[in-house]
Amino acid sequence: MTESSIRAVLEEQQAVLEQRLASIRRDSARSHSADSADQAQERENDEVEDAIGIETEQSLRAVRLALGRLDAGLYGICEGCGADIDPGRLEVLPETVLCVKCAE
């Protein structure tokens, strides 16, 4: 993959994650039902949404860091051992910072 295609993939991931996070935040801000049974279900849903929100924030952070590494000329270099990360791994996980060996 070329640098411009890598950047395009990462920027697309960033946009999708930002939209997902905005949607989660909107859902979290809604008010709850006055019915206690409905409130219990809504609170369970809130917990799930919170977990998804945290995961989305972590993914977004990883994508932004990958874009920063791309800008700095460090993209594709393993943060664990300094070796080049296999291009196939980067195609599957463009935000990865570790080669397969260091990830294990």
pLDDT confidence of 1, banded at 50, 70, 90? confident
Residue 40 has a pLDDT of 59
Helices (H), the chain: 3-28, 36-72, 87-92, 100-103
For the segment 8-65, what is each residue's pLDDT rounded down to a tens digit? 999 999 999 999 999 988 877 666 666 666 655 666 666 778 889 999 999 999 999 9
Cβ atoms of 85 and 6 within 8 Å: the answer is: no
Residue 30 has a pLDDT of 64
Indicate the pTM of the whole model: 0.79
Cβ atoms of 87 and 66 within 8 Å: the answer is: no
Q: Where are the domains of the chain?
A: 3-75
pLDDT confidence of 4, banded at 50, 70, 90? very high
Cα–Cα distance for residue pair 52/75, rounded to 1 Å? 27
pLDDT confidence of 66, banded at 50, 70, 90? very high
